[in-house]
Amino acid sequence: MCGIVGCIYKKEPVLDFLIEGLERLEYRGYDSSGVAVIEKGALFTSKQEGKLNQLKKALKGENCSSFIGIGHTRWATHGRPSQANSHPHTDIDNEIAIVHNGIIENFQELKSELIEQGVQFSSETDSEVLAHLIHNQSQAGKIPLEEAVRLSLKKAKGAYAIAVISSRDPEKLVGARLGSPLIVGIGKNGNYLASDVPAILKQTNKVIYPNDGEIILLTADSYKVFDLDKKSVKHKVHTIEWTLDQVTKNGYDKFMLKEIHEQPKVIEAILKQRNPKGEQISFEELNIDEAVLKGIERISIVSCGTAYHAGFFIKYFLENNTDLPVDIDVASEFRYRKPKLNSKILVLTISQSGETADTLASLRLAKSKGCQILSIVNVMGSTIDRESDGVIYTHAGPEIGVASTKAYTAQMTCGLLFALYLAQLRKEMDSKSIKAMLKEAHKLPEMIQTVLKQEKHIAEIASQHAYAESALYLGRGFNFPSALEGALKNKEISYMHAEGHAAGEMKHGPIALIDHKLPVFCICPDGDSYEKMVSNVKEVEARKGLIISILTEGDKNLESISKETIFIPKIKEDLTPLLVAIPLQLLAFYIAETKGCDIDQPRNLAKSVTVE
Ligand code: F6R
């Protein structure tokens, strides 16, 4: 979704920061971009449809010395991608410039009022109304910019993160948020606004996280936060632990590939932090009373996309290793399906970004019904982090590739540890079995390294099937979610039509798809589901499907009927999805690479889905 940057420096020109900041937000997905600065007392705006390179070209040769500016990458909602619809938007006197992420729901009503007053609109966007409203409220500079913003926002309904500058008030950068992410960076040379930390990490690691309904007034050496009723708000300044290396490609061609390779370290760190000696599991930030956890009667998992698939695995793991019944929903359904909720239900939300609109709405719904909310979150300080009763941080570092990889396996690792923690607390598993499972879990980082060594082989398989029209992914039990995730990964970055199914469901429809041209990725590691998977693979063989099997090392049985095989090391079946994830991610990556797709920023997708 849209990315916002804003900066007010003491004495440096601001343009380079704006462009670099926007580059670091490219991962969010966008179709146009723009910047506005105050140059020699007047507003200068430049915006372009397409990638940031277009904007850079347009700005080439501009000799900008301004200390203050805002920038934006737009992901179209109201109005097609075009130069006119790109942000920043300005008022009719070209004094106010605004960038916006979110949707102003009552924009039509506000627009009609403004048109009646003689305002001419130059875009089809909802965001432009804010520029005109702020201009009206500022009364030609008589009202301070922050107050004009406050009065305007009082009229707006919907979601927003905004950054605003005015040529009448050139020493101020004003931001505000409601429902869309915005952070404030506090630096030595100036202060910043951004949608996300990577945009400002080179300049500062000190940030504050404003709450919904708050306005931020920045000068080059001060910051103030107040609410829509003008009440001043104090915020803790957080220190970000991410390093600049983590937000750059660091020698890799693509963020996605870098993040796939980071998985052994991420999982090792999670295991070491929560279970350092292989004995007790601890979660310092859990913040939910043991008595409450002992008393819960059900767990309801809610998330979207890849995080939903991680949740699906966690459901299987919880049901296999505790006595708790577990539901799982995609958040966009949960929030509208009238779930029967009460205080005995623990709602587990899972989100890399911590900002996903449907997951957040589900969390709020569950909270209003008295449920305890536990969240598995990657981004500290995100809204889901702040609104949950307890949190388990994945500490996976920034995930910048749009397709989620390391966050997925990190979520699964945190989830399985939480399940074992509950089993230990509720005495639903004997300590010997818990220890045995943990011992296996600690083998995961090294085993993932082993799987990663097959990268070349996997890339070859991928290139052979890259131009297939469709692909089928089949799995059972713990690896049914893996099949769903494998298909999602492939379709989202390579645009190949791909379907994941529970292998047992094949006969109920998907089998009709199988012919000699269809690659069928069969996930068949050793375990209780193996024999049944073999039968399903044989059914694919009988229909001449192209079988690509993911098998446990040493499996000769399925090797003979598979066109290609990928091997994973032997591990307890419950943990196989963490190994299976690696070839599935690499297959998707190399299929997309063979086809020349824009892997880190696939078409139509956004990293952080902050609108419904
Ligand atoms: C797919 C992908 C998405 C996200 C989903 C939820 O690769 O990344 O499906 O998993 O949008 O996002 P978060 O985890 O930020 O809530």
Q: How far is the CA of 404 from the centre of ligand 1 (A)?
A: 6
Atom of ligand 1 at shortest range from CA of 411: 14
Q: Which of 353, 377, 597 to mutate to test the pocket of ligand 1 (most atoms within 8 A of CB)?
A: 353
Mean of pLDDT over the chain = 95
607 catalytic, yes or no? Answer: yes
Q: Which domains does the chain have, with CATH numbers?
A: 3-240 (3.60.20.10), 243-442 (3.40.50.10490), 451-612 (3.40.50.10490)
CA distance 273 to 607: 27
Q: Which of 1, 356, 379 to mutate to test the pocket of ligand 1 (most atoms within 8 A of CB)?
A: 356
Can you give the pLDDT at residue 610? 73
pLDDT band at residue 30 using 50, 70 and 90 as cut-offs: confident
Amino acid code (one letter) for 385 = D
What residues have CB less than 8 Å from 585, skipping those under 6 apart?
256, 260, 403, 405, 489
Going by C-alpha positions, the residue among 384, 374, 411 that lies closest to residue 300 is 374
Quick one: 73 exposed, middle or buried, by C-beta within 10 A (0-12, 13-18, 19+)? buried
371 catalytic, yes or no? Answer: no
pLDDT in tens, 548-591: 999 999 999 999 899 999 999 999 999 999 999 999 999 999 99
328: β partners: 301
Active-site residue, from 2, 304, 524, 597: 2
Query: Does residue 282 contact residue 392 with C-beta atoms inside 8 Å?
Result: no
Q: Which of 352, 406, 485, 490 to mutate to test the pocket of ligand 1 (most atoms within 8 A of CB)?
A: 352
Q: How far is the CA of 607 from the centre of ligand 1 (A)?
A: 7
pLDDT in tens, 513-546: 999 999 999 999 999 999 999 999 999 999 999 9
CA distance 163 to 234: 20
Atom of ligand 1 at shortest range from CA of 403: 7
Can you give the pLDDT at residue 433? 95
Is this prediction's pTM over 0.85?
Answer: yes
pLDDT in tens, 256-274: 999 999 999 999 999 999 9
Alpha carbon nearest to ligand 1 atom 7, residue: 403
Q: Which residues line ligand 1 (CB under 6 A)?
A: 304-307, 351-353, 356, 359, 403-404, 492, 609
Does the pLDDT value for residue 430 go beyond 80? yes
Structure tokens belonging to residue 498: 């791909």
CA distance 353 to 331: 14
Alpha carbon nearest to ligand 1 atom 8, residue: 404
What residues have CB less than 8 Å from 544, skipping those under 6 apart?
514, 515, 516
Can you give the pLDDT at residue 608? 74
Can you give the pLDDT at residue 81? 87
Query: Does residue 74 contact residue 108 with C-beta atoms inside 8 Å?
Result: no
Q: How far is the CA of 224 from the centre of ligand 1 (A)?
A: 33
Alpha carbon nearest to ligand 1 atom 11, residue: 305
pLDDT in tens, 286-342: 889 999 999 999 999 999 999 999 999 999 999 999 999 999 999 999 999 999 999
Going by C-alpha positions, the residue among 291, 300, 293 that lies closest to residue 342 is 300
pLDDT in tens, 51-106: 999 999 999 988 889 999 999 999 888 888 899 999 999 999 999 999 999 999 99
CA distance 10 to 203: 13
CA distance 363 to 360: 5
Q: How far is the CA of 352 from the centre of ligand 1 (A)?
A: 7
Q: Provide the pairing of β-strand 470-475 with 497-502.
A: parallel
Query: Does residue 447 contact residue 267 with C-beta atoms inside 8 Å?
Result: no
What residues have CB less than 8 Å from 460, skipping those under 6 apart?
none
Alpha carbon nearest to ligand 1 atom 3, residue: 305
Does the pLDDT value for residue 182 go beyond 80? yes
Query: Does residue 33 contact residue 22 with C-beta atoms inside 8 Å?
Result: yes
Atom of ligand 1 at shortest range from CA of 303: 16
CA distance 85 to 126: 10
Quick one: 546 exposed, middle or buried, by C-beta within 10 A (0-12, 13-18, 19+)? buried
Q: How far is the CA of 473 from the centre of ligand 1 (A)?
A: 19
Can you give the pLDDT at residue 171? 96
Q: How far is the CA of 302 from the centre of ligand 1 (A)?
A: 12
